[in-house]
Every structure is written in C-alpha cells, then in structure tokens.
C-alpha cells in the first residue's frame, strides 16, 4: 500500500502517515519501532521528552531500509528553550538517533508563560539547524495562532509544520486555519482522541458502510482534510489496521459530518498551549 506524501513549504516532502512513539516505554521502543518498519511505516515521530530517542535510533540502525526512505521527527525538551541549551540538546538528539541529519525537528511547546515569554529566540536557533544542514526541516508543535503570527513576523522564517491536537471531538480550527494561512502543514497528534472517538455511533455507521474500523475511518478523515497523522500502537495487528487507510475514500459529506462532531474546548484531551508550563525535572 502506498502512503501519500505532503509537500512542505521548503520543497521537501513528508509521508502523510507515520508512527508515533509517545508513551512507548524505552525498553520496548526498539522492538516496537522495528515492527512498525516491518509493517511498512517509514515516518517515525519521537521527542526528547519521550525518553526513547536512543531506542528509536537502535531500530533505525538495525533496519535494512535505506536512510533516504526514512523520515524521522523529534522535538525539543521544554527545559531547553534557551539557545545554548537548544543547541546542545539538538546535538544529543542526533547522537541518540544515530543521524547526521534529522528530517524534522520541532519546538515541542511554546511555553508562553516561561522564559520571559521568549520562544522567538528558540525558533531562531532551530532555523539555524536547517541553515547548517543538520535538519532538513524545522517546525513547531502546539503553537496557537498568536504564537505562529509572532515567530513569522519577528523572524521571517515560516515553520514547515505545526503539530497540534486534532481529532473529530476537537478539530482545533483556529490553530489549523492559522497554520494553513501561513503555509504551514498540520500534523495531528491524538488523532483518535486517545480512543475516545472509537465508540462514536456516527463514525461507526460510516465505518460499517466501508467495512472498515472506526480508527481507520477517523485516520482517513484526517488524510482527506490534509492532516499528517502518526497513530501509536504497540500491537502489530493495530499497526497494520492503522496502515490500511489508503484503499478507500470518504465522501465530502462524510468528512463534514465527522467534523461536525467537534466539541470545542470540551473535546480537548491535552493541555491548553496558552497555559501549559510543564518542564521535566
């Protein structure tokens, strides 16, 4: 099955479907990622705060897949926003992953209430990683419209992606619209709302029509809307299920119907980026 690709604003491309490693325990990460690669995933998403970059790197090294066919993303730890810290942390990420160049590196959270509200200098630091060739692309995660507007206005550098919470119960339209307005592609984390949408009767009815699961229909809904998704599962059968979403298509009415399940802020499963201030000890 061929995974569709999305063209980014810097003339690179990204697989629209990837494999997420959030909450995959480090001791199980190498085997889990190896299984995902066997299933067919070529886009792997990790982060410094997931504490499993080293093990993702082990799986990549053990694979016989050419580096040119792999797409690897990681994200900056919330404790390392100051430029010198970000530089050092980024080098550690490359070392742990065993890469000379990462495909995509993101500011994980804007943290507007910390670091004197300065996430602009952090963004400038990430931009330098592309300039010196250590990253193919850089982007942001959990950036609200005002955060995006600010970094673009103050640096002139537009992120390649904005990785934000998006699912049928929280379509996050303001952040999606701001991203699209700037030419930033949207990556949807928590694409099935941590499983909350899987029992939704509307999604279930559409799934029955196509002989698909609720998860497959939800992921296909993201694809139809142009989102980049990276579901996580540690079970091979679920990995295979989530991968099998490119052999059917939803109608425009079905896409709109699923979008109509949006609950606004009541549907959000994660923290609000305007107030989130967690820094690992």
pLDDT per position as a tens digit, 13-50? 999 999 999 999 999 999 999 999 999 999 999 999 99
Residue 23: CB atoms within 10 A of its CB come to: 10
**100-154: pLDDT as tens digits:** 999 999 999 999 999 999 999 999 999 999 999 999 999 999 999 999 999 999 9
Q: Say what the pLDDT of residue 257 is.
A: 98
pLDDT in the model for residue 1: 75
Catalytic residue among 22, 41, 50, 80: 50
Residues 6+ apart with CB under 8 A from 169: 193, 196, 197, 261, 262, 263, 267, 269
Residue 97 CA to residue 100 CA, distance in Å, equals 9
Average confidence score pLDDT of the chain: 98
Provide the CA 281 distance to its chain's centre, in angstroms: 24
Q: Are the C-beta atoms of 242 and 231 separated by less than 8 Å?
A: yes
Judge whether 169 and 263 are in contact, CB under 8 Å. Answer: yes
Please name the helix (run of DSSP H) or strand (run of DSSP E) that holds residue 258, with its range, or none: helix 252-259
Q: Is the pLDDT of residue 227 over 90?
A: yes
**Residue with more model confidence, 194 or 1:** 194
Q: Please state, for a pLDDT cut of 70, what percent of the chain lies above it.
A: 100
What one-character DSSP code corresponds to residue 117? G
User: CA angle, 138 as apex, 65 and 82 as ends, to 5°?
Assistant: 125
Query: In the predicted model, is pLDDT for residue 241 greater than 90?
Result: yes
DSSP H or E stretch at residue 161: strand 161-165
CB distance 18 to 41 below 8 Å: yes
Q: Which of the four pLDDT bands, split at 50, 70 and 90, describes residue 73?
A: very high
pLDDT band per the 50, 70, 90 thresholds, residue 254? very high
| Encoded tokens for 56 | 């993702």
C-alpha distances out from residue 54 to 30, 81, 109, 136, Å: 9, 21, 21, 20
Number of Cβ within 10 Å of residue 64's Cβ equals 5
**pLDDT digit string, tens, across residues 170-198:** 999 999 999 999 999 999 999 999 999 99
50 is catalytic: yes
**Residue pointed to by tokens 């050092």:** 88
* 238, 39 Cβ separation under 8 angstroms: no
């Amino acid at each position: 099955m061929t995974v569709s690709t999305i063209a980014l604003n810097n003339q690179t491309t990204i697989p629209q479907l990837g494999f997420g490693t959030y909450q995959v325990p480090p001791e199980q990460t190498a085997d889990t990622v190896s299984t995902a690669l066997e299933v067919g995933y070529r886009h792997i998403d990790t982060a410094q705060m997931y504490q499993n970059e080293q093990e993702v790197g082990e799986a990549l090294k053990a694979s016989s897949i050419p580096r040119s066919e792999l797409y690897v993303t990681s994200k900056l730890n919330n404790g390392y926003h100051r430029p010198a810290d970000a530089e050092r942390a980024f080098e550690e990420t490359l070392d742990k992953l065993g890469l000379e160049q990462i495909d995509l590196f993101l500011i994980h959270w804007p943290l507007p209430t910390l670091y004197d509200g300065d996430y602009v200098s952090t963004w400038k630091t990430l931009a330098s990683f592309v300039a010196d060739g250590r990253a193919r692309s850089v982007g942001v995660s959990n950036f609200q419209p005002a955060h995006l507007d600010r970094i673009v206005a103050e640096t002139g550098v537009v992120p390649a992606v904005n990785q934000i919470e998006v699912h049928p119960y929280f379509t996050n339209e303001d952040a999606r619209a701001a991203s699209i307005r700037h030419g930033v592609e949207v990556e949807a984390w928590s694409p099935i709302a941590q499983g909350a949408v899987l029992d939704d009767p509307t999604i279930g009815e559409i799934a029955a029509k196509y002989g698909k699961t609720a998860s497959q229909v939800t992921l296909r809904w993201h694809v139809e809307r142009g989102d980049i998704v990276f579901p996580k599962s540690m079970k091979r059968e679920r990995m295979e299920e989530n991968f099998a979403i490119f052999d059917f298509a939803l109608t425009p009415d079905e896409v709109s119907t699923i979008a109509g399940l949006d609950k606004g802020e009541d549907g959000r499963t994660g923290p609000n980026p305007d107030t989130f201030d967690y820094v690992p000890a």
